[in-house]
Amino acid sequence: MPTEILMPALSPTMEEGTLAKWLVKEGDTVSSGDVMCEIETDKATMEFEAVDEGTIGKILIADGTEGVKVNTPIAVLLEEGESADDISAPSSPKTEQSSNTAPADASDKTAPAAGYGRGATDATPAITSAAPSGGDGKRIFATPLARRIAAEKGLDLSQVSGSGPRGRIIKADVQGLSQSDAPKAAPAQSAPAAPEAIAAPASGPSAETVMKMYEGRDFEEVTLNGMRKTIAARLTEAKQSIPHFYLRRDIQLDALMKFRADLNKQLETRGVKLSVNDFIIKASALALQSVPDANAVWASDRILKLKPSDVAVAVAIEGGLFTPVLKDSEMKSLSALSAEMKDLAARARDRKLAPHEYQGGSFAISNLGMFGVDNFDAVINPPHGSILAVGAGVRKPVVGKDGELTVATVMSVTLSVDHRVIDGALGAQLLTAIKDNLENPMTMLA
243 with 331: CB under 8 angstroms?
A: no
What is the distance in angstroms between the CA of the first residue and the CA of the last residue of the chain?
65
Phi-psi region of 130 (alpha: psi -120 to 50; beta: other; left: phi over 0): alpha
Buried b (16+ CB within 10 A) or exposed e, 332-346: bebeebbebbeebbe
Angle at the Cα of 46 (from 42 to 47), degrees rounded to 5?
Answer: 150
- The stretch 113-137 carries a mean pLDDT of 41
| pTM for this predicted structure | 0.61
pLDDT digits (tens, 9 = 90+) for 22-52: 999 998 999 888 889 988 877 777 888 888 8
Q: Which carries the bigger pLDDT value, residue 313 or residue 84?
A: 313
CA 173 to chain CA centroid, Å, is: 29
- The stretch 101-126 carries a mean pLDDT of 39
Cα separation, 326 vs 330, in Å, equals: 10
Q: What are the catalytic residues?
A: 419
437 with 286: CB under 8 angstroms?
A: yes
Pairing relationship of beta strands 113-116 and 3-6 according to DSSP bridges: parallel
Ranking 107-116, 121-130, 214-223, 396-405 by mean pLDDT, the lowest is: 121-130
pLDDT for 196 beyond 60: no
- Residue 10 dihedral angles phi and psi, to the nearest 5°: -95, 0
Of 355, 375, 354, nearest to 366 by C-alpha is 375
- The stretch 367-392 carries a mean pLDDT of 95
pLDDT at 126: 34
Ranking 109-118, 145-154, 361-370 by mean pLDDT, the lowest is: 109-118
pLDDT digits (tens, 9 = 90+) for 132-178: 455 555 567 676 667 777 877 778 877 787 766 556 687 777 776 76
Q: Is 296 exposed, middle or buried (0-12, 13-18, 19+ CB in 10 A)?
A: buried
pLDDT for 306 beyond 60: yes
- Helix (H) / strand (E) element for 375: namely none
Where does 119-170 show beta strands of DSSP type E?
Answer: none
Most confident of the following: 92-106, 174-188, 306-320 = 306-320
Taking the CA atoms of residue 432, residue 438, residue 440 and residue 444 in that order, the dihedral angle to the nearest 10 degrees is: 100
3-class state of residue 73 by DSSP: strand
pLDDT at 305: 95
Work out the mean pLDDT of the chain and round it to a whole number. Answer: 80
409 with 395: CB under 8 angstroms?
A: yes
- The stretch 62-71 carries a mean pLDDT of 89
- The stretch 46-74 carries a mean pLDDT of 88
134 with 25: CB under 8 angstroms?
A: no
344 with 361: CB under 8 angstroms?
A: no
Cα separation, 323 vs 289, in Å, equals: 21
pLDDT digits (tens, 9 = 90+) for 130-144: 344 555 555 676 766
Q: Which carries the bigger pLDDT value, residue 257 or residue 16?
A: 257
